[in-house]
């Protein structure tokens, strides 16, 4: 004899049926939504990780899939044996950025590999910049990754670090403070803002812009060098856009210009000159000199290149680089602001032979290249 059926279902049965119906009707779309959201979140997490972590020189080389033969040449730049590749893991290549007013971004304070960043966002171990003794001078160096010291064996072996130690050794006392305010990817636009909005309030005696390469680099990336975001800026824009859309608002449409083709050499030079004039004028108002040191690279150098360095040079748009640098020399040497000086270092390293590896890549060098540039800055300028 069969059991009698219940006259009405229990609440548990009702809710179970409703849940099954919902899953049956909307289960696939819900799963697809969940899966799609996880994909977006994973991509964003990966994006944040790439831009928020410090990279050593070795990490940067591994990410670029550097061949074993190229790695041997890079080790030779430092005078290291072929089996000492792990030593390159100590050398900072890039430190993580944080957003900053006007300039867009500065290095995050902290210690990353062998780079120490202070609270101002400068690669400098001094925590502050107080009053100077009457006999002291404070020099600020601006620039991109070359001046920052990407790949330098130590903080003291960046161009600003070497400049400070050698100047003070010649005087026999700590007469000079040389402060490294550079950061990878900065061009003259960011340097001008660092000068006008930051350095001019910190008692500068002299400001040296070790620069020029990144203005050409960003033009090759089809950016308007008077109005562009670097990769770090774009990272923060991406984060803001994701937060905006997560709140149910439409996609942001940030105003940055990607050109149809690279700028003319004349426009690259004109934009750079405008930035330098503004920086030099601001420096003059606080009694500081401004020097523009046009930096060398693999195309403009007079060094006798090694076979590896020749291969690097061949991968560049040589004619465009030469035309841009010729325009930069012409524009920057013609600037007429009191206290301004142009120093052309672009053809440096002519004394180095083809048997001496000097360049890490198109723009950067190891210890010896930084030493030579620091010496040229000392010899090319009046210090005493």
Query: How does residue 7 score in pLDDT terms, banded at 50, 70 and 90?
Result: very low
What's the confidence (pLDDT) of residue 1?
44
* pLDDT (mean) for 357-363: 96
**Distance of alpha carbon 204 from alpha carbon 201, whole angstroms:** 8
Mean residue pLDDT of the chain comes to: 90
* pLDDT (mean) for 289-306: 98
Query: How does residue 16 score in pLDDT terms, banded at 50, 70 and 90?
Result: low
Give residue limits of the domains in the chain: 11-52, 55-380
Query: How does residue 72 score in pLDDT terms, banded at 50, 70 and 90?
Result: very high
Maximum distance among all Cα pairs of the chain, rounded to whole angstroms: 114
* pLDDT (mean) for 82-88: 94
* pLDDT (mean) for 304-326: 97
Which is it for strands 206-211 and 340-344: parallel, antiparallel or unpaired? unpaired
CB neighbour list of residue 193: distance below 8 Å, 6 or more residues apart: 102, 103
**Distance of alpha carbon 26 from alpha carbon 36, whole angstroms:** 15
Q: pLDDT digits over 203-260, tens only?
A: 999 999 999 999 999 999 999 999 999 989 988 988 888 888 888 998 887 776 789 9
CATH annotation of 55-380: 3.40.50.1110
Tokens read off for 63: 């990410």
DSSP state of 268: H
């Amino acid at each position: 004899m069969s059991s009698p059926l219940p006259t009405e279902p229990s609440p548990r049965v009702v809710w179970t049926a409703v849940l099954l119906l919902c899953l049956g009707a909307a289960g696939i779309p819900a799963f697809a939504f969940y899966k799609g959201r996880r994909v977006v979140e994973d991509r964003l997490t990966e994006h944040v990780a790439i831009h928020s972590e410090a990279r050593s020189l070795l990490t940067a080389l591994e990410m670029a899939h550097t061949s074993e033969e190229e790695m041997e040449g890079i080790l030779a730049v430092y005078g290291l044996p072929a089996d000492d590749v792990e030593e390159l893991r100590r050398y900072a290549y890039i430190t993580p950025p944080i957003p900053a007013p006007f300039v867009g971004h500065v290095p995050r304070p902290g210690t990353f590999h062998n780079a120490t960043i202070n609270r101002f966002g400068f690669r400098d171990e001094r925590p502050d910049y107080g009053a100077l003794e009457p006999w002291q001078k404070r020099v600020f160096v601006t620039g991109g990754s070359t001046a920052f010291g990407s790949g330098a064996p130590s903080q003291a072996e960046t161009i600003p670090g070497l400049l400070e130690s050698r100047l003070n050794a010649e005087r026999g006392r700590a007469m000079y403070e040389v402060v490294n305010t550079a950061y990878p990817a900065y061009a003259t636009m960011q340097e001008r803002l660092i000068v006008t909005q930051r350095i001019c309030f910190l008692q500068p005696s002299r400001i040296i812009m070790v620069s020029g390469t990144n203005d050409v680099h960003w033009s090759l990336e089809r950016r308007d060098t008077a109005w562009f975001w670097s990769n770090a800026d774009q990272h923060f824009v991406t984060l803001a856009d994701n937060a905006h859309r997560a709140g149910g608002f439409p996609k942001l449409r940030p105003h940055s210009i990607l050109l149809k083709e690279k700028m003319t050499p004349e426009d690259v030079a004109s934009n750079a000159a405008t930035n330098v004039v503004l920086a030099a004028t601001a420096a003059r108002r606080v009694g500081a000199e401004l020097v523009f040191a046009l930096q060398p690279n693999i195309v403009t150098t007079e060094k006798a290149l090694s076979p590896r360095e020749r291969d690097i040079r061949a991968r560049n748009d040589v004619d465009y680089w030469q035309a841009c640098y010729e325009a930069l020399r012409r524009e920057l040497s013609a600037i007429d602001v009191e206290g301004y000086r142009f120093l052309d270092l672009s053809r440096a390293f002519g004394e180095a032979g083809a048997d001496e590896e000097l360049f890490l890549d198109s723009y950067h060098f190891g210890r010896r290249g930084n030493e030579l540039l620091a010496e040229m800055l000392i010899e090319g300028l009046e210090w005493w």
